[in-house]
Amino acid sequence: MRRASLRTAPLALVLVLAVSDVAAQEPSSAPAAPAQPPPSGAPTPPADPELERALEEAAKADAQAQSGGKGADATQAQDRRAEDPLRLAFGKEILGNESNPAISLILDVVGSYFSRADRVPLEGHVPTATGVSVTGAELAASASVDPYFRFDMAFALAHLELEEIYLTTLSLPLDLQARAGQFLSKVGRHNPTHPHSWHFVLNPLPNQFLFGAEGLGGPGAEVSWLAPLPWYVELIGALQVGEGGAFRTKPLTEGDPRFEDFIYPVRLVQFFDLSDDWALQLGTNAVFGTSALEPQVGHRTYAFGGDLLLKWRPIGQGQTGYTYLAWVTEFWLRKMEVPTDVWQDVGGYTDLIVGISKRWEVGARFELWRRVGGEAPTALNSRSQFGLDSERASLALSFLPSHFSRARLQ
């Protein structure tokens, strides 16, 4: 049995720049407060016609300046905004940033050093060799289309590929929500995330072996339902086309896919408020689909897993509660059918993240992947592409100068 370990000392700098239009503030339409009369016993100053005329002209000039100097045109514009269906639907005026997309430019730069040549091969948004590399450059945009749909997009500038682009419904009945387009599957805690939101430089090895370096995703449709229960319960299911790790839809060259040829991610999420300071989230996950090896002959892959997030953030600690403790764990069991065998593997990772202060964060991670069934990896069976017996431990120290930048040593 081959085991592989990895020693790295990467330093990552993540920059996030949000760009959006800024709208001018509308003048207040509330009437001015009436002037307070002088006390009954106070003497009344003598009237000055020239002073009163000057004050009236100054008041007119101020009113014209506040309305942009447009007089009736400004009044008509306000009337048109009052009749805007978006304003009527949301119960408020839609101005500036609320009607324009939120746009972000995200850059990930990593400097890394590898001390061993015999190591687990890394792929995707992670450093693969000693040196400096751009592991991510992303253009992201999101906006409300109307009261019924929301638009989201993530375009990878480094590889010139569209990572995600989809519409999400906003007003379905019965606590339902749907999205359609190309998106990352909502299974586990790590798969639907992007590198700039990670607490570590590297993605977990089990997720790479399961869903590929880019994560499980592709074109498809998803439906989620928020159950009417005393605690938060959400059920999510999707149908997707594509490939990721051990999953791959039958190629179109083999004919139109049948319903059993698609990838089906399913997730159940439950959230509990344990106290004012403690919260717990539990996730149950399953993925069904055709195998990445010869899917056209009906080979299938199954993955079952669970995840948890236990978080402590004391109320009133720090300036605004920057001190926190988060424990994240995700584990999986995979069964993969191949032409002459059935491979079974288990693996997972566990993270402990501590928010020290407003600008400092430290994290520790342990990862494990083990073969529990099927033949060992050889040069002929390609099993090493889908996971080697591995374990890895990491420490990460992050410095956050602001919400838009981050420097990390792992």
**DSSP H helical ranges for 67-189:** 72-82, 85-90
Helix, strand or coil, per DSSP, at residue 136: strand
DSSP letter at 211? H
Arithmetic mean of pLDDT, 126-147: 85
Give how far Cα 313 sits from Cα of 269, 316, 317, 318, 406, Å. 21, 9, 8, 10, 21
Q: Which residue has the higher pLDDT, 410 or 47?
A: 410
The conformation of residue 263, written as its DSSP 8-state character, comes to B
Q: Which pLDDT score is estimated for 319?
A: 57
Residue bearing the bigger pLDDT, 281 or 2:
281
Average pLDDT, the chain: 79
Phi, psi of 8 (to 5 degrees): -140, 160
CA distance 61 to 58: 5
Per-residue pLDDT of 261-294, as tens digits, reads 899 999 999 999 999 899 999 999 999 988 888 7
Read off the pLDDT band of 351 (50, 70, 90). very high
Q: How far apart are CA 328 and CA 351, in angstroms?
A: 5
HSE-up (13 A, CA, CB side) for residue 125 = 28
Q: Does 23 or 67 have the greater pLDDT score?
A: 67
Question: Residue 163's Cα: distance from chain center in Å?
Answer: 12
pLDDT in tens, 156-206: 887 788 899 999 999 999 999 999 999 999 999 999 999 888 999 888 988
Contact 304, 210 (CB under 8 A): no
What local confidence, expressed as pLDDT, does residue 227 receive? 96
Alpha carbon distance 266, 326 (integer Å): 25
Say if CB 201 and CB 109 are below 8 A apart. no
Assess contact for 222 and 238: CB atoms under 8 A.
yes
| Strands of 189-323, DSSP E | 217-226, 232-240, 243-244, 247-248, 264-273, 278-290, 300-312
pLDDT of the residue at 318:
56
253: number of Cβ within 10 Å: 6
